[in-house]
Each structure stands twice: as structure tokens, then as C-alpha cells.
């Protein structure tokens, strides 16, 4: 396993699954394959983070992002 500098946490709890966390994970994967981000981030799937009504939920740079989309991430990376 390579060395990662930073982590992106994405909830894969049942409510977030219903709200599309799988397609979010795919989009994030695509984004992280592009050049400036390559090898710098590790995506960690988590259990419920207790923001179920606002899913899919992720945490980047110690910040909770509700109704997360890959575009939101683009600004944060």
C-alpha cells in the first residue's frame, strides 16, 4: 500500500446508500485518478456518522460535507 497524505471519509451506512453514496464513491475515485490528486488521498468508507437525513455524508479536512457531490470535493482537494 502506498503512502497517503490525507483521508476522505465517506459514510456507507444504509441511509447514505439510499442517497447514492456508491455513485459518489465512484465519482471520487475518478476524480482522484486525475493528475494533481493522484496518490495523495485515501478514501475510507465509514459506518453511519449520524447525519443520515443529509446523506451522502463525507468528511474532508476535518469538515463534514452533507449531500456531498464530487464537485464539492473538487474545491476542497
Residues that bind ligand FES in the complex, under the rule CB under 6 A: 11, 13-16, 48-52, 55, 57
Nearest to 50 by CA among 15, 21, 77, 76: 15
Other beta carbons within 10 angstroms of residue 16's beta carbon come to: 26
Instruction: Please state the closest distance from residue 8 (CB atom) to ligand FES, in A.
Output: 14
- Return the biggest CA–CA distance within the chain: 35
The residue among 14 and 30 lying less far from ligand FES, judged by its C-beta, is: 14
Whole-number minimum distance, CB 36 to ligand FES, in Å?
28
- Which one, 37 or 52, has the nearer CB to ligand FES? 52
Amino acid at each position: 500500500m502506498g503512502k497517503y497524505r490525507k483521508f476522505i471519509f465517506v459514510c456507507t451506512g444504509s441511509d447514505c446508500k439510499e442517497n447514492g453514496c456508491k455513485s459518489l464513491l465512484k465519482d471520487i475515485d475518478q476524480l482522484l485518478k486525475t493528475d494533481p490528486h493522484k496518490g495523495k488521498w485515501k478514501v475510507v468508507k465509514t459506518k453511519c456518522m449520524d447525519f443520515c437525513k443529509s446523506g451522502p455524508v463525507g468528511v474532508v479536512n476535518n469538515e463534514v460535507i452533507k449531500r456531498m457531490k464530487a464537485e464539492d470535493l473538487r474545491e476542497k482537494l
